[in-house]
Amino acid sequence: MQIFRYTNNRPMPWKNGQGTTTEIAVAPAGAGLEGFDWRLSIARMEADAPFSAFPGIVRTLAVIEGAGLTLAVAGNAPVTLDQAAAPHRFAADQPAEGRLLDGPVSNLNIMTRRASCTHMMRRVQFQGELEVSAAGTLLVLCHSGGIEIGGTSLGPLDCALIEETEKAALHSSAASSVFLIDIFSD
């Protein structure tokens, strides 16, 4: 199991320069924006902006801070996303624009390259114990509260990576919210 501490990462400009993003984890390790198989990041939007285009990439986005946004992706009806909404999946190579509902937002993003893998993201709220396992790669991101996994404590925005065949129990003494992101190789 690998642990990624949010505080160890630094924000950088979006590919199109319209916002900032903080990379949490990427595969292969050290891959840039053009060479990753998958990439987990948190994007900060301070104003309405077009999203960066990523050819060959599928993206899922979940609002984790702020009132939310309306996401318009070419050819689809606009979708309103807030912290209660389910994560939203879309083609990252299609023109997309976010319009803020009421002030800045932060979004959790998982992106996977169509040619090499796929993903599924879900938000889970729990207290007590939650068993998880990885059929491929599983990313566990603590959204709120605090959890313990494999004897290691994770605070908000910290992430654990669990590889295939590993099982883990998440423990939380108070109500906590986590994102479970499964990544499957094609």
**pLDDT per residue as tens, the chain (186 positions):** 899 999 998 888 888 878 889 999 999 988 888 899 999 999 999 999 999 999 999 999 999 999 999 999 997 999 999 999 999 999 999 999 999 999 999 999 999 999 999 999 999 999 999 999 888 899 999 999 999 998 999 999 999 999 887 788 999 999 999 999 999 997
Inside any domain, residue 96:
yes
Inside any domain, residue 4:
no
Domain with 176, as residue range(s), is: 118-185
**CA dist., res. 39 & res. 114, Å (int):** 13
Total domains, the chain:
2
Inside any domain, residue 20:
yes
Inside any domain, residue 162:
yes
* Whether residue 102 is found in the same domain as residue 15: yes
Inside any domain, residue 1:
no
Q: Which of 88, 115, 142 is the last residue of a domain?
A: 115
Q: Are the CB atoms for 63 and 82 separated by under 8 Å?
A: yes
Whole-prediction pTM: 0.93
Inside any domain, residue 175:
yes
* Whether residue 56 is found in the same domain as residue 41: yes
Residue 186, judged by CB atoms within 10 A of its CB (0-12, 13-18, 19+), counts as exposed
* Whether residue 147 is found in the same domain as residue 178: yes
